[in-house]
Amino acid sequence: GAVVSQHPSWVICKSGTSVKIECRSLDFQATTMFWYRQFPKQSLMLMATSNEGSKATYEQGVEKDKFLINHASLTLSTLTVTSAHPEDSSFYICSASGLGGYEQYFGPGTRLTVT
């Protein structure tokens, strides 16, 4: 149980375009979802926290107009990178919680490459 999926697992897009990443909790209702960014050989940096039906809470320094997060249902959250640039290339990981006990369940990640 407690499986979180992400789609796509890998995406290449051209500079200036937008790309959407989906995060789904497959077997539980995720009241809260988190989006992280991870640079090569570095730790996870929390970008934002989203609760179902509410606006996301962004961490300091994260551009909310560039990284649009939607948490429309208890099983789906999306991250849209708008007007992507090469510096947005990174590994994006989502996690979900909602089973109680404070635990987050992580998706497998999405590698974004902007050319």
Residues binding another protein (CB under 8 A): 4, 6, 32, 34, 41-44, 46, 49, 91, 93, 95, 97, 101-109, 111
DSSP state of 88: G
Cβ neighbour number for residue 76 with a 10 Å cutoff: 16
Least separation in angstroms between CB 16 and another protein: 26
Toward another protein, which CB reaches closer, 45 or 76? Answer: 45
Q: Measuring CA to CA, how many Å separate 19 from each of 32, 64, 84?
A: 22, 15, 8
Least separation in angstroms between CB 80 and another protein: 20
